[in-house]
Amino acid sequence: MTLSIAELGQFSLALALCVALVQSIVPLWGAHRGDGAMMAMARPGAVALFGLVAVAFACLTYSFVVSDFSVSVVAQNSHSDKPMLYKVAGVWGNHEGSLLLWITALTFFGLAVALTGRNLPPQLRARALSVQAMITAGFLLFILLTSNPFIRLNPPPMDGKGLNPLLQDPGLAFHPPMLYLGYVGFSMAFSFAVAALIEGRVDAAWARWVRPWTLTAWTFLTLGIALGSWWAYYELGWGGWWYWDPVENASFMPWLAGTALLHSAIVVEKRDSLKSWTILLSILTFAMSLLGTFLVRSGVLTSVHAFASDPTRGMFVLILLAVSVGGALILYAFRAPTLQGGGLFTPISREGGLLLNNLLMTTAMATVLLGTLYPLIADAFALGKVSVGAPFFNAVFVPLMVPLVVVMGIGPMLAWKRGDLRGALSRLWVALAATGLTMAGSWLYVGGTIDDLLAAFGFGLAAWLLVATLVEWAERVKLFRAPAGESLRRAANLPRAAWGMTLAHTGMALVVAGVTASSAYKGELVQSQKIGEAVRIAGYDVTLTSAATVQGPNYEAQRGIFEVRKEGELIATLTPEKRLYRSPPMPTTEAAIHTTGLSDLYTVIGDPDPALPGAYVTRLYHEPLVPLLWYGALLMAAGGLVSLTDRRHRVGAPVRKRTGAATTAAVKA
Amino acid sequence: MSRAATRKKRRLYMVVAGLLLLGTATALVLTAFQDNLVFFYSPTDVQAKKVGEDRRFRLGGLVKDGSVVKTGSEVRFTVTDMNADLPVSYSGILPDLFREGQGVVAEGKLDRSGVFIAKEVLAKHDENYMPPEVAEALKKSGQWTGAQTDAASHKAPQN
């Protein structure tokens, strides 16, 4: 029985490749010829593609669950004594399996378009699904030729090598699937963009069809990045939550591009403007997703993440990147001039604000890209081995984000087409006052020295964004201007997309505050601490009361017990561990965190101090406002979700305007 | 004003705004590069090049067997590429995967006596992982044994 399961998965993948190849040609050709039957193949094709890939994924999962060590990937990455959660998570804890998850997500989005896009014009749907199938075919070739997850071992080993213990954590178990759904979700925007280019038409209706996919991808990516960051925070034991590591950047670049796309698509939808730019962004965003995949899988960059470095794999992703993005860009070069610009606007307008957001986001993305790739460039041109670290990114990224946050407060207050800046600012007087008060208040609170000015500025920015966002919402619902009942009714009738913006921008304000506090006021103490000795950090007295060895299911741990007192009163007992896993034999640090909801006390226990018997090296961190980062990310993701349920995505098929030029372009195609 | 003229004007605004931003970004990048670009050297490089006292750089190689001495929270060890050695001092807790005989990357500066004062010792996610720079440094010094690659060729968190 177990022998045939892996082969079934393999066979399923091969079949999927055949379906994908047919799917990449027939509906596209049908759309070109105006052949309804050929176009109609797209939907069942997408369903079949997903079905076949899902079967393969289920087969691999089954092999992991029953610990079938005759399958090479299972033997390399699983172990029979692993808890069930990590047997399943082990499926994507390795290159081959995670690639299969990638493809599953890719076909899942195709399925979603096939099932939900009832009101899509058949031509657009056929073309978009064809393009999606082309990407799928490319990745299926990749997995079948270079990274087959179903390779057998003969004879099978007695037991597996186990999953990297750092990955044996609930946070990381769900980080990759979230991230991939985000990465891969942008493929749908890409496919729609290419379909629109082939068709030669981009209009408000197009923007409305693409929006849900971009939103879904963005929401997942936001959650994925936040989960990864949270995991790094509590698992690596260094008290940091973002390292500007190449792999983090790899997921951050598509996020920046995707955020820009999300905003420029609004202008296409509402004002029929910025079309060509939006198409370019769709291509760029997916290009960043592919680039991220390349950076992670080729092992060309040094990172705290370890990679299976295999040049053929890197080369394959690079070819996929070149073919898909290169092809799309060539198509764009030919077709973009035919996309007629629509509504006009002055620089001071809602469109102007959104455009500025786009410029800042893409510039920020470009600088992150440059910083990430610079070590490669320098190496290629023999400029020496260099690394570009956090100081570079902070020095470049932060100044670009400051104007962005300022504009985020004003933009939503401006009218479409021609805005009134002075009027908007006078309506924002509360926000301006709050900014001033926060700056002054936080500056005095933290000590009022020159060094605190920058942080006070950061807190001021956060307050500005928070209050401006709330003012905008209050104006919409006429808070305090109308009877409470009416405000309530207005709030209930507010479009979900507006709620989404309010939530996401509020989230961003919290993130700004969290970033500021944690970079300016993080407290850190490293010492050799004797049993019974108390150390004082940020008003807490932290006593190491004991340290002992304990047994876990597949590890042995040295557990320290810290008693945390504030003004003599016991408020928490923390038990950080240093674990040594059995298979593979590898130590990990488990921090213990006491949170007040606004700040964290973070404790780590290290090795016994050889120079001082009965003492242990301990690390204590005080992390002010770091929880705001997680709340902020959750609010952003919630904003995305709420916006996704907006009425306009569910009912009322968007009607396309028939224009002469577009029709001829479509016929010519 | 005609529609076409307005369109042109709008395009001009966009181009000007774009160029301004690009200029700002370039200026930011260049200044940041000047201050924050960190070069990578092996102990042999350090000996040969006489790296300046104030220059922050990354040092890579193997942790010499039997060289690790811990006193309180200060650790001293020697990084070697088998050709040359460099003493390193670090205050803080070492990453979990720091071990004698394993590859290591440290970031910091040389002090006057030629000791490398590490501000950071980089943590790796995998016990078998060999930083590419370290592998290269070892290859350069002719001390590379294939065993290291074999150990580094599998097992990897992919995200």
Is position A494 within any domain? no
Q: Identify whether the C-beta of residue B70 lies closer than 8 Å to the C-beta of residue A610.
A: yes
Q: Is residue A144 part of a domain?
A: yes
Count helices and strands (H / E) in chain A.
Answer: 22, 11
C-beta separation of B134 from B61 below 8 A: yes
- Summarize pLDDT for A177-215 with one digit per residue, the tens: 898 899 899 999 999 999 999 988 888 888 888 899 999
CATH number at B124 reads 2.40.50.140
Given a contact cutoff of 8 angstroms between Cβ atoms, the answer to whether A265 and A278 are in contact is yes
C-alpha count within 13 angstroms, C-beta hemisphere, residue A270: 14
pLDDT for the residue numbered A656: 63
Confirm whether B144 is domain-assigned. yes
Range of the domain at A30: 1-163
> Count of CB atoms within 10 A of residue A519's CB?
15
What is the Cα–Cα distance from A437 to A250, expressed in whole angstroms? 38
Output the six-digit token pair for A510: 């919290």
How large is the angle between the packed helices A626-644 and A496-521, nearest 10 degrees?
170
Residues 374-433 of A with CB under 8 A from B: 374, 384-389, 391-392, 395-396, 399-400
Looking at beta carbons, which residues of chain B come within 8 Å of A584? 127, 155
Asked, for residue A496, whether it belongs to a domain, the answer is no
Give the length of chain B.
Answer: 159
Q: Give residue A632's identity as a one-letter amino acid code.
A: G
Q: Does B34 touch chain A (CB under 8 A)?
A: no
Find chain A residues with C-beta within 8 A of B136's C-beta.
385
Judge: A388–B13 Cβ closer than 8 Å, yes or no: no
> DSSP readout, A215-231?
HHHHHHHHHHHHHHHHH
**Residue where a domain stops, chosen among A163, A195, A230:** A163
In a domain, B10, yes or no: no
pLDDT at A84: 87
How many domains is chain A partitioned into structurally? 2
Residue A138 lies in a domain: yes
Q: Is A59 part of a structural domain of the chain?
A: yes
**What tokens appear for A150 in the block?**
């179903």
pLDDT beneath 70: ranges in chain A: 1-3, 117, 299-311, 341, 650-669
- C-alpha distances (whole Å) from A30 to each of A408, A460, A560, B88 are 44, 57, 68, 68
Chain A residues with CB under 8 Å of B32 CB are 391-392, 395-396
CATH number at residue A40: 1.20.120
User: What does the pLDDT read at residue A664?
Assistant: 37
Partner residue facing A611 (CB), from B14, B71, B157: B71
- Residue B74 covered by a domain: yes
d(CA B75, nearest CA chain A) in Å: 11
Position of tokens 């010792």?
Answer: B121
Best A94, A275, A309 member to test B by mutation, with max B CBs in 10 Å, is A309
Chain B residues whose beta carbon lies within 8 Å of the beta carbon of residue A388:
36-38
pLDDT at residue A417, as a whole number: 83
Evaluate whether residue A603 is within a structural domain.
yes
Q: How far apart are CA A360 and CA B33, in angstroms?
A: 20
The dihedral formed by the CA atoms of A399, A405, A411 and A412, expressed in degrees to the nearest 10: 160
Interface contact B26, partner A, CB < 8 A: no
pLDDT, position A572: 92
Q: Provide φ and ψ at A100, rounded to 5°.
A: -65, -35
DSSP code per residue over A75-106: HHH--TTS-HHHHHHGGGSSHHHHHHHHHHHH
Flag whether residue B12 sits within 8 Å of chain A, measured between CB atoms. Answer: no
| Pairwise CB contact (< 8 Å): A228 & B31 | no
Instruction: Examine residue B30 and state whether it is found in any structural domain, yes or no.
Output: no
What is the total count of domains within chain B? 1
pLDDT band at B38 (very low <50, low <70, confident <90, very high): confident
If 0-12 CB within 10 Å is exposed, 13-18 middle and 19+ buried, where does residue A331 land?
middle
Max Cα–Cα distance, chain A, nearest Å:
86
Q: Tell how many helices (H) and how many strands (E) occur in chain B.
A: 4, 7
B113: in domain: yes
Contact B28 A400 (CB under 8 A): yes
Domain carrying residue B85: 39-152
Q: Half-sphere exposure (CA, 13 Å, Cβ side) for A264?
A: 26
Phi, psi torsion values for A259, nearest 5 degrees:
-65, -40
- What's the burial of A86, exposed, middle or buried (CB within 10 Å: 0-12/13-18/19+)? buried
Whole-angstrom distance, CA of residue B148 vs CA of residue B129: 9
From chain A residues 114-153, the ones with a CB under 8 A of any chain B CB are: none
> What 8-state DSSP symbol labels residue A573?
E
Q: Is residue A385 part of a domain?
A: no
Which of A163, A186, A219 represents a domain boundary (last residue)?
A163
CATH number reported for the structural domain that contains residue A584 in this entry:
2.60.98
The answer to the question of residue B159 being in a domain is: no
H or E element in which residue B27 lies: helix B3-36
Q: Is residue A251 part of a domain?
A: no
Q: Does the residue B146 lie in any domain?
A: yes
Does A236 contact B22 at a Cβ distance shorter than 8 Å? Answer: no
pLDDT for the residue B132: 63
Determine contact, residues B85/B77, Cβ cutoff 8 Å: no
